[in-house]
Amino acid sequence: MAAKQTPEQVVRAEAKWVRLSARKARVVLANIRGRSVPEARTILAFTQRAAAIEIEKVLRSAVANAETNPLLHWNGDDLVISATYADEGPTLKRWKPRARGRVNRIFKRTCHITIELAQNPKAGTTRTPRAAAPTTTEAPAPAQASEKQPAEKPKRASRAKKKEAVA
């Protein structure tokens, strides 16, 4: 008998009708699939494709969904991207006039970008609420001025001494 696998909890975010080709979005999504959220944010920040900006917005939304979900309370840095995909959306069809009364069609493609996040199996448990910060107004102790360290001599010999050593 096969062991039943419990469904993994995932949080997802979706951006619909993004004015970007699905093919171009898939190139960037392949770079972040399976990575942790901080690592994916770094990759998107340094990716020089227009799709990276839109994908980063969806990733931020997915992390916010995971952190604010009252049933989960996941920490955003402990999440991993379990699935990413870009489906084709509706195509806007336009035309451009050409010579001799002819017309060329222009396809303005759109896509729907989806990112699913799951809890990192290496991470611990869910996030605990933050404790209140200490309310002490005590300033840090100043450094002791009476204990002065003697200044170290420079390790490099002066030019005059080097010339004397050569001669």
What would the DSSP string read from start to end of 89-148?
-PPEEEEEE-GGG-EEEEEE--EEEEEEEEE-TTS-SPPPPPPPPP---PPPPPPPSSSP
- Residue 117 confidence (pLDDT) above 60: yes
Environment class of 20 (CB within 10 Å of its CB; exposed 0-12, middle 13-18, buried 19+)? buried
- Ranking 29-33, 43-47, 88-92, 142-146 by mean pLDDT, the lowest is 142-146
d(CA 71, CA 55): 26
Mean pLDDT of 2-30: 88
Determine the pLDDT at residue 73. Answer: 85
Write down the residue that tokens 């990112």 correspond to. 115
Determine the pLDDT at residue 157. Answer: 58
Determine the pLDDT at residue 148. Answer: 60
Q: For residue 103, what are the β-bridge partners?
A: 97
What percent of the chain is predicted at pLDDT more than 70?
Answer: 69
Determine the pLDDT at residue 76. Answer: 92
pTM for this predicted structure: 0.70
Domain boundaries, the chain: 10-119
Determine the pLDDT at residue 1. Answer: 46
Angle separating helix axes 37-45 and 50-68, nearest 10 degrees: 160
Judge whether 73 and 157 are in contact, CB under 8 Å.
no
Structure token digits, residue 113: 């970008």
d(CA 49, CA 26): 11
Superfamily of domain 10-119: Ribosomal protein L22/L17 (3.90.470.10)
